[in-house]
A and B are shown apart, each in its own frame.
Chain A
Amino acid sequence: MSNRIDVKKTYKLFINGQFPRSESGRVYEIKSGKDFLANPAQASRKDLRDAVTAARSAHTGWANATAYNRGQILYRIAEMLEGRSSQFVEEICALEKSTSAQAKAQVSQAIDRWVWYAGWADKIATTFGATNPVAGPYYNFTIPEPMGVVGILAPEKPSLLGLVESLAPVLVSGNTAVLVASQSAPLTAITFAEVLATSDLPSGVCNILTGIKEELAPWMASHMDINAMDISGAAKKIQPALREAGADNLKRIFSFNEKVSTQRMVSFLEAKTIWHTIGI
């Protein structure tokens, strides 16, 4: 038997393709049962601000990538998630009171969901766009477009599946995201970020923060450069206040009942209608 000492991971934030510590220097303790597990970074409002800046600058490029390209990049992420399965299972088992079988099921489901959404990339416009037969000499069509920067408060549990179910429908259409991970089970989110970091996803397209949701959520809701939010993972009691704060820039704010649906994609799309004259 070897008495080798494990090399432990430092769980940091994921902003603009990099893994910084919180600018505040804060961490918070995560325990598995009674045992210390990790000190993930406790993101501050300034980290959130930096993440939004990164997401905003990444938006044009990601939104204008071809749908085929976005689909391929997202599918590639699924391939890499598959390779990390055992790590996710360990992290889930440690923090979510799951059996190994339940954890494995969660990981498999998360990967399958990711693949399902990846395949939507080049079908969204066909399915949710329209050509409109206006009464006049005009060609008129409606195309769905990403809204911009979307803030996500990911569900507490299941941590990985919840993250995938809230993140994938946002990214697939060309939005960029700032996601606040499960506060109680943040490890899968950071491991997920490591997958993103080594994938072809451009820096800044997805930014992941760990920390205290109630601290970060109001700053997210009031941030004037965030276009929309998924607050499904926020405590019900704070949701009205978030909606109220979001009214300052008329953020589109959603809380979903369904775990998986096209509505979760469509909610983060703007319909753009274009008219053009038809003539010779």
Chain B
Amino acid sequence: MSNFEYAPAPESRAVVSIDPVYGLFINGKFVPGKTHFPAINPATGEKLSKITQASATDVNKAVAAARGVYSKTWSKMPPAERAKYLYRIARILQERAREFAVLETLDNGKPIRESRDIDIPLVAAHFFYHAGWADKLQYAGFGTQPKAHGVVGAIIPWNFPLLMLAWKVAPALATGNTVVLKPAETTSLTALLFAQVCQQAELPAGVVNIVTGDGKVGAALVNHPDVDKIAFTGSTDVGKIIARSVAHSGKSVTLELGGKGANIVFEDAAIDEAVEGIVNGIFFNQGHVCCAGSRLLVQEGIHDELLEKLKRRMGQIRLGDPLDKNTDIGAINSADQLAKIKALTDVGLREGGESWSPDCVLPDKGFWFAPTIFTGVTQAHRIAREEIFGPVLSVLTFRTPQEAMEKANNTPFGLSAGIWSEKGSRILWASKHLQAGVIWANTFNKFDPTSPFGGYKESGWGREGGRHGLGAYLKGDDHE
């Protein structure tokens, strides 16, 4: 070896055992299904297992199980006891963290470094955090006797499969609800492994039910008359469909939807850390992040220097086998998503954007997209307006702080924004003017169970995490 190439360092798959076929998790048991679809490793195209397509009857059974245990057991259990189940789940998740990380990477395509260091630790943290709330809800600011809704229908996306499960299930259980969860069609495996954790924790049967399948299953859940509350994370388009569906039923709803986050770099920024933040903002999780910093807004005076540094840094990004511990960018989650990314980037090129990617060899099997930046982009370009949900960054410039704010806010979305500056007063000024639910100043894409997350405008309804997030799962003194 003539220079310092990193040899492959794959994490072992031996820690997980994947069943050839999975049923549904209803009332504490795995129930075999009738029709199935494949679970695919997006990095290789390999079929990992077969997942059940739940029917309307299955959804009914799951909701009935959730309702039954809610009425008989869960709603009557002292909150402190409920808390102990959540603590148990948190501990088992920690014990089996490596197994979950490897399985998540196999099923989702994200780098093991991220599933191991970010997703799974945050999952355990969410359960641990919410466990403590269970017997303290009267202090959460939702009245003296906040009540659970009853049965929560949770519908989650494929970008952070287990983490999004935790964001829904942990607060739902802590507040005394029971849950019917529908994982995303392409990423069901860690949810089904989580079902085993519920069994190990001896969680009463029916408190958590998992129904797998496509959007029809989600629709059945949304329209089910005995579901009291819908918690959804996904696209803004589907969010609007849900909002229309529940308009007539009076169900309580929270929606975490899309974004087109502006990452604003002022000329006085700590430039090396800003470059890291840009990379983390858009290439974390292959850009499959609703709060991704997908629009870079650079002050004109440092545009060239920043772009040079960014390109150099992008040259260091290691794309490849998600199980390799040195991989920075893994596989695109599905053929569908890859097609969407390609379609939008083609539009970007047709509209005159200039695309640049570092030299990197894409594996021949599976679904891959090189990290890409588009320069020469303006507010009028579709790639600067529409969520690409992939590793594609649009670079825009601004001249004054006011102009940066105007451009950043010029979108129907309002989920996240980033600010890079060494000047405290400017950061606080920008924080005040940005219409976004989460603002990262001199950092990006950080998450914590204590920190409320959620968007303004078309990025959704409600918050998840922290004291604010509990509100979604409680009927306070004046909640309908």
Contact = CB atoms under 8 A, between A and B. Distances in A.
Whether A and B touch (Cβ < 8 Å) is answered with: yes
A143 to B, nearest CB: 9
Interface stretch (A73-81, A212-220, A244-252): A244-252
A132 B466 contact: yes
Contacts of B451: 132, 134, 140, 142, 273, 275
Interface in A231-277: 240-241, 243-244, 246-250, 252, 255-258, 261-264, 270-277
Contact of A274 (B244, B441, B457, B468): B441
B248 A244 contact: yes
Interface string A148-164: 00000000000000000
B477 A261 contact: yes
B244 A244 contact: yes
A134 B239 contact: no
Contacts of A257: 478, 480
Contact of A250 (B255, B431, B479): B255
B453 interface: yes
Interface string B273-291: 0000000000000000000
A155 B255 CA distance: 29
A226 to B, nearest CB: 11
A255 B438 CA distance: 27
Contacts of A134: 446, 448, 450-451
B457 A227 contact: yes
A166 B427 CA distance: 35
Given A130-B468, A250-B460, A250-B461, A275 B480 contact: no
Contacts of B457: 227, 249-250
Contacts of B236: 250
Interface in A119-133: 127-128, 130, 132-133
A276 B270 CA distance: 13
A136 B436 CA distance: 22
B10 to A, nearest CB: 29
A146 to B, nearest CB: 11
B451 to A, nearest CB: 5
Which range holds the interface residue count of chain A?
Answer: 35 or more
A256 B480 CA distance: 7
A245 to B, nearest CB: 8
A135 interface: yes
Contacts of A272: 431, 436-439, 456
Given A134-B450, A243-B247, A277 B468 contact: no
B243 A250 contact: yes
A68 interface: no
Interface in B432-470: 432, 436-443, 446, 448, 450-454, 456-458, 460-461, 463, 466-468
Contacts of A275: 438-441, 443, 446, 451
Contacts of B452: 130, 132, 142, 271, 273
B450 A132 contact: yes
B33 to A, nearest CB: 32
A25 to B, nearest CB: 34
Most chain A C-beta atoms within 10 Å of own C-beta, residue among B125, B437, B461, B466? B466
A191 B150 CA distance: 45
B315 interface: no
B96 interface: no
B141 interface: yes
A57 to B, nearest CB: 14
Interface string B410-427: 001000000000000001
Contact of B240 (A138, A250, A274, A277): A250
B476 interface: yes
B381 to A, nearest CB: 21
A79 B476 CA distance: 33
A132 B448 CA distance: 9
A276 B441 CA distance: 5
Nearest to A139: B441
Given A263-B479, A275-B443, A247 B244 contact: yes
Given A275-B441, A277-B443, A258 B450 contact: no
B247 A271 contact: no
Interface string A188-212: 0000000000000000000000000
Interface of A: 64, 127-128, 130, 132-136, 138, 140, 142, 147, 227, 240-241, 243-244, 246-250, 252, 255-258, 261-264, 270-277
7 A-B pairs closest in CB distance: A243-B247, A247-B243, A263-B478, A134-B448, A244-B247, A258-B478, A261-B478
Given A258-B478, A276-B442, 6 more contacts: A132-B451, A133-B450, A147-B456, A243-B243, A257-B478, A277-B441
Interface of B: 125, 141, 236, 239-240, 243-244, 246-248, 255, 257, 412, 427, 431-432, 436-443, 446, 448, 450-454, 456-458, 460-461, 463, 466-468, 476-480
17 contacts: A128-B141, A130-B452, A132-B466, A134-B446, A147-B456, A250-B255, A250-B257, A255-B480, A257-B478, A261-B477, A261-B478, A270-B437, A271-B468, A272-B438, A272-B439, A273-B439, A274-B439
